Every structure is written in structure tokens, then in C-alpha cells.
Structure 1
Amino acid sequence: MGTLIFNLNMMKMMKYRLLFLYILGMTVAACNNDLPDELFVKRVVIAENGFQDLRLEYPEDGTVNTQITISISGTSVLSKDVEAQVKVCPDTLDDYNYERFVQDTMLYYTLLPEDCYTLENEGKVTIKKGDEYALLSVQFDLSRLDMFKDYVLPLEVSSVSDYEVGEPKYRKALFHLNILNNFSYVYTPSGAKVYNSGDNDDYTAWTTDLTLSTLNYNTCRMYAGGVYETDTDRDKYVIQVTVNSDSTLSYTAMTPEINLMAEGDASQNRISISESPDLLVQNKSVITTTLKMNYSYTYTSPEGYPYHRRFEGTFTNDRTVFRDKDGNIREEW
């Protein structure tokens, strides 16, 4: 008898549970039917908004193309084409410079000149029906740039054919041109020495990293060995370093009166690049760039005394890369 009562109670509980689940399911279905297709206002924005480093590899002819992603927000599928107009916004760069550097105008970024870039279709781009974004091509002519300046291209979505333009912080972007060639990196010194006279025993060990900045496809600039970036007269000792077709290095002084000249033979002034694959991770490798340098120049002390200075050393840069199936570098750090 007790077992029968227990079974009847269990059946009642099961009925109540099934009834509860049925009511819950109907409620959820009703709620879902009441939801609109679009939960948010659709707005057109620049996907990579804010301050962005735009990495550009300097090609032989100086012309390079990149693409900017223009996207539309929202939860529903785009039901029609939307045209967006992208334009340059110099005021945005002015505001950024002042907010970041205030009155230290020497640090201000430079607005990219109009003759150094071209926006595809004059900046007009169409996000097609059913898509979430479109790509705007931008072509740069790096050969026209003053490579001693730090350039930014400020862009914004200024108008759209339908829906809304995004809020300022999402529709605007400051693209900082990070221009590189095959050897414009920061190098670690090994056995580098600054000889302050003709005596080979009179030298100072050089332990400061060497920074090479791009000038064109095969030329970089740097400060002469023994000169620090904080020196007030550093611009007098800027050197152009060119990689020749035989991997030797040539030096040219921006200021001829420092009497810059290469020392030693070709083996002491050259570049070499090697790549070591990772044995555990597929398509991962380390690229090592090695510079051997030996040159001399006339250095003038703060007191105004000129003397012969020679700089010699080996410098290396290691960077980890990942390659795609075609062998192209797709990621680097």
C-alpha cells in the first residue's frame, strides 16, 4: 500500500514538472517572437578606430597599398546597400597633438601631405546588402615623404546614405605611418667600441642599442656611434646607411664636414640575414639580422675641439615570425 501511494505522488510531481516546463517554453517562445530584428541603432564606423600604427613595407618604387575596414554595427542582416564617405579630418590630429603633447610642438605628429596618398574612389565606399563591412583602399607614395618627419593620416566617416554615422570615437582614426624596410630595426651591440684617437688602446665600450630608421627601400639613417639620441648636437652626426646589392654597407654623412669614411675591408661593413625554423611549432621561425660596421668621422667636443673618432662593432636583431602556406610573413614580434 505504501509503495502505491509513493508511486502516485511521484506521478503527480512529474505532471507538475511537465506542466511547468510547457508554460516556461511557451513564455520564452512568446518573448522571442516579440523581439525586434534590430536591437541597436545601425551605425557606420571605422573598424580600426583611435590611434593606430599602420605598418608599411617600403617597396622599390615607393608605392604601397593598404586597406581600411569600414563596418556597420547592429544585430540584423543589412537589408540594402549603404554608401559611406570617408574623408581626411586634420582637426582630429590637431586635437590629439595638443592633448598629448600640449605645447611641446617638436613632438607633434605631421599631417600626411595630400600628394602622398590617394583614397580609392575619392573616399566613397559601399557596404553591400548582407555584408557587415567594406574595404577602402589607400595608396601611399612613400618616395614623396620627408622621412625625418613622423606622419599621421587622420580619417573619419563623414556621411552615410542610410542609417547613422558612428560616434566620433568610433568613426575617426589616426593612422600613424610606421614605415619599414628589410633592416630598419633596433639592434643589440656586441663588442662595439668607440675609439677616441688613433690609439687602438684608447676606446670606450659601446652598449647602447643601435636604431636604424627607414629612408627608402635600401637605406636607413642612424646617429654615428658614440653619439646619443639625447645629445643636443646629434643632428650633426646623422649617417645614412645603404645596403648594396652585394650586402656590403655604404655610409653617407648628412653633414659633410664630419669627414665620414668606411674603415677596414668589405667583411667589416656588411649585412647578413639568416632564418632558423622552430623545431616544435610549424611555420614559426626566428630571423636574425647582423650588421658589421667599421667607420670613422670627425667629432667636435662640446668645448669645440675636433678629433678623429672610429666606431667598430657587430649588431644583431632577432625577430620571431610566422609564415602562411605561401611563405609570406603573416605575423611578427
Structure 2
Amino acid sequence: MKRNIFKHICQGTLLAAVALCTVSCEDELDSELFTKYSYLMNNGWQENIEMPINDDNTVDLPVYFGVNGTSGNDKDIIVKLDVDADTLSLFNFDKFKNETASYYDLLPAGCYTFDKPQYTIPKGDLNAKAVCHIDLATLRQHDIYNEYVLPIKIASSEGEVVGPSRYTKALYYLNFTNKYSGVYAGNGTIKQLGTSYSAEVAGKQLYAISKDECYMYAGNMDRTKTGHKKYVVTAKFNDDGTLDVTANNEAIALVPLKGHWQQKFYTNVSDSRKLIRMVTVTIGYEYSDLDKADDNVRYRYEGTLTKSEDVFKKDFPNAKVEVED
């Protein structure tokens, strides 16, 4: 008899626990539905989005958005996107305060278009994608060497409300890429002409501005140094392995001395779908230092730079794989 009573008590306790759990779960689900909203899937500061330059010198920036929650979507949700200059202004001031020379530039109007006036998250789906087309030819009419940011927000949402600001706004740092851009290792030397001064210069970062052009900064300049925008050096990668080296600022009186590049491919033992691509850039030029009191201070820079990366075989169908000893 005692065993039967114990059995009934245990069963009753179990049923009560299940009922309590069910009520609790239903309460959580009701709360979730109450706070359902549309949001940008990549929100906040975004600087690692791949932005390869197309053959027509445009860039397609994907913008992903969705509706939150785990209870599904039972309706079409209409979303409109827009550019939000105020968010970039607030970000710049918060990051740099009164150092306005360090502010990121807003991508100029006319350089970008969204592929649709509005977007639909279809019933039954939880996310969708927009594409923002960026035209680098138009950007050249402004200043293609600036550091641009495109701030995007959800301007409106029909079917579900727009979520909190921190989830519905994104700042896309525009880092365009081509086959030659990226961080290069290697060493260079900088020599002051007419003196015994010389110094070693570490590798360089090349920034893409078209499908076959990159820029860097002369000598030992980089983006961390004041006045670096005066020392932009552009390198156009030609099919015959030569480089056309020019300066954006005529005042530095750039004189090209040498410029060529080559690429080699090696077997990728860790992934049969890929190859290892090695790009080598050899470059030399003379230029004037605009920050010296003496206007006649000139430098010669010479360097050999290398970049190694994994690439898909399908992207380089004519690649000749080197035979390693």
C-alpha cells in the first residue's frame, strides 16, 4: 500500500512539474512574440566584409537583414533601407573627438544605389538580402583615396516593427579589394639623396581602387602618420608584368625608377580545391619630403614586397603550378 501511495505521489509531482514547465515555456514564447522586430544581421561597425571590385569597376556590397525570434514568420515583412549620415557623425565624434582630420568620410551621394526601393522578407522566411552597388568611376570624381564609410539603417518595416537602434544600424568601412591588394611582407630601404642617411622600411599595405590599380604611401609613410594623404603612390598592374607608378600629389615630384610584378602558384596540400598564390612586387621611386623645412629634401625608396594567399583554382583556371624541389 505504501508503495502505491509513493508511486501516485511521484506521478503527481512529475505531472505538476511538466505543467509548470509548459506554462513557463508558453510565457517565454508570448514574451518573445511581443518583442519581435526586424533588424540588420550585421549591425554596428563592420570592417571585415569582403568587397571585391568587379570587372566594370563597381562593387556589390551585400546587406543582410531579418526578423528575430524562434517562432517563425507568418507574414510578408516589407523593409526599406537608407543611408544614415547622423550615425557616422556621432561615431566620428565619439571615436576622435575634435581631431576632425581623422574622421571617416561619408561615401558621397551618387556613388551608390540600392538594387531595390524596398525588400521583402517572405512569409515563412526569417531573413533576406539587399545589394548596394558602389560605382568607383563616380567616386574618382571626388577623392577615391579617402577612408569612406557607408552607414546604413532600416528606415521602415511593415509587418514587424523596427528593432532597437543598436540592432538596426550598421557602419560599413569600405575596404575594396582586387587580386593585388592586401598586406605585403618584405623590406625596403629609404635613402635621403645627397646624404648618408638611410633606413629600413617594413612591408606595405596596398589598397585597391580599381580592378587592376592599388595605392600605397611613399617611403615610410602609412595611415597612422599625420599628413599621409599627401604621399599617395598609385601602382597600375599591367598584364605584361610591369607597374605604372604615379603620384596623386604632383608636389612630391615623384620619379619612377623601376616597377614590375609577378605571381606564382604552388600546390595547397591542405585543400585540394585551392592553390597558394604568391605575388611579388618590386618597386622604386624618388620623391620630395613636403614636411621638411628645406624644400630640396628628396628620398629614394626601393623595395621588394610579397603576399601569399590561398585562392580557389576556379578563379585562376590558367594557373601554372610551380614544381618545388
Name the TM-score, length of structure 2 as normaliser.
0.81
Quickly say closer, same or farther: Cα 1:246–1:21, change in 2 above 3 A. farther
Who wins on radius of gyration, i.e. which is larger? 1
Q: Does 1:148 align with 2:145?
A: yes
| Cα distance per residue 1:149-200 (max 9 Å; x no partner) | 111111211222223210010011111111122222222223x33344479x
User: Which shifted more, 251-260 or 73-82?
Assistant: 251-260
Q: 1:313 aligns with which of 297, 303, 310?
A: 303
Q: Secondary structure at the match of 2:304?
A: strand
- Residue 331 of structure 1: aligned partner: none
- Residue 294 of structure 1: aligned partner: 284
Q: Which amino acid aligns with 1:140?
A: I
Alignment of 1:29-48 (within 5 A): 31-32=21-22, 35=26, 38-40=30-32, 41-48=35-42
Alignment of 1:174-213 (within 5 A): 174-190=171-187, 192-197=188-193, 204-213=198-207
Quickly say closer, same or farther: Cα 1:95–1:27, change in 2 above 3 A. same
Task: Output the CA distance in 1 between the equivalents of 2:7 and 2:272.
Answer: 54
Name the TM-score, length of structure 1 as normaliser.
0.79
- Residue 217 of structure 1: aligned partner: 211
Task: Output the CA distance in 1 between the equivalents of 2:154 and 2:52.
Answer: 26
Q: Secondary structure at the match of 1:139?
A: strand
Task: Output the CA distance in 2 between the equivalents of 1:159 and 1:125.
Answer: 11
Give the gaps of 5 or more residues in structure 2. 317-325
Paired positions, count: 308
- Residue 4 of structure 1: aligned partner: none
Q: Does 1:158 align with 2:155?
A: yes
| Cα distance per residue 1:242-297 (max 9 Å; x no partner) | 11121211111334454433336xxxx21122333432444455432211123334
Task: Output the CA distance in 1 between the equivalents of 2:54 and 2:301.
Answer: 30
Q: 2:113 aligns with which of 115, 118, 125?
A: 118
Q: Is the 8 A contact 2:201 2:219 kept in 1?
A: no
Q: 1:278 aligns with which of 268, 276, 287?
A: 268
Task: Output the CA distance in 2 between the equivalents of 1:288 and 1:203.
Answer: 32
Q: Which amino acid aligns with 2:286?
A: S
Task: Output the CA distance in 2 between the equivalents of 1:326 and 1:289.
Answer: 18
| Cα distance per residue 1:75-127 (max 9 Å; x no partner) | 212111111222222111111111111111111111122211111322x1111
Q: Secondary structure at the match of 2:219?
A: coil
CA RMSD of aligned residues (A): 3.2
Quickly say closer, same or farther: Cα 1:133–1:279, change in 2 above 3 A. same
Percent sequence identity is 29
Q: Which amino acid aligns with 1:175?
A: Y
Q: Secondary structure at the match of 2:175?
A: strand
Give the gaps of 5 or more residues in structure 1. 1-7, 329-333
Task: Output the CA distance in 2 between the equivalents of 1:301 and 1:89.
Answer: 37
Q: Does 1:97 align with 2:92?
A: yes
Task: Output the CA distance in 2 between the equivalents of 1:21 and 1:136.
Answer: 54
After the TM superposition, which parts of structure 1 deviate over 6 Å for at least 4 consecutive aligned residues? none
Task: Output the CA distance in 2 between the equivalents of 1:110 and 1:227.
Answer: 21
User: Which shifted more, 253-262 or 227-236?
Assistant: 227-236
Quickly say closer, same or farther: Cα 1:282–1:47, change in 2 above 3 A. same
Quickly say closer, same or farther: Cα 1:23–1:102, change in 2 above 3 A. same
- Residue 63 of structure 2: aligned partner: 68
Task: Output the CA distance in 2 between the equivalents of 1:228 and 1:164.
Answer: 44
Task: Output the CA distance in 1 between the equivalents of 2:220 and 2:85.
Answer: 39
Q: 2:294 aligns with which of 293, 304, 315?
A: 304
Q: Secondary structure at the match of 2:50?
A: strand
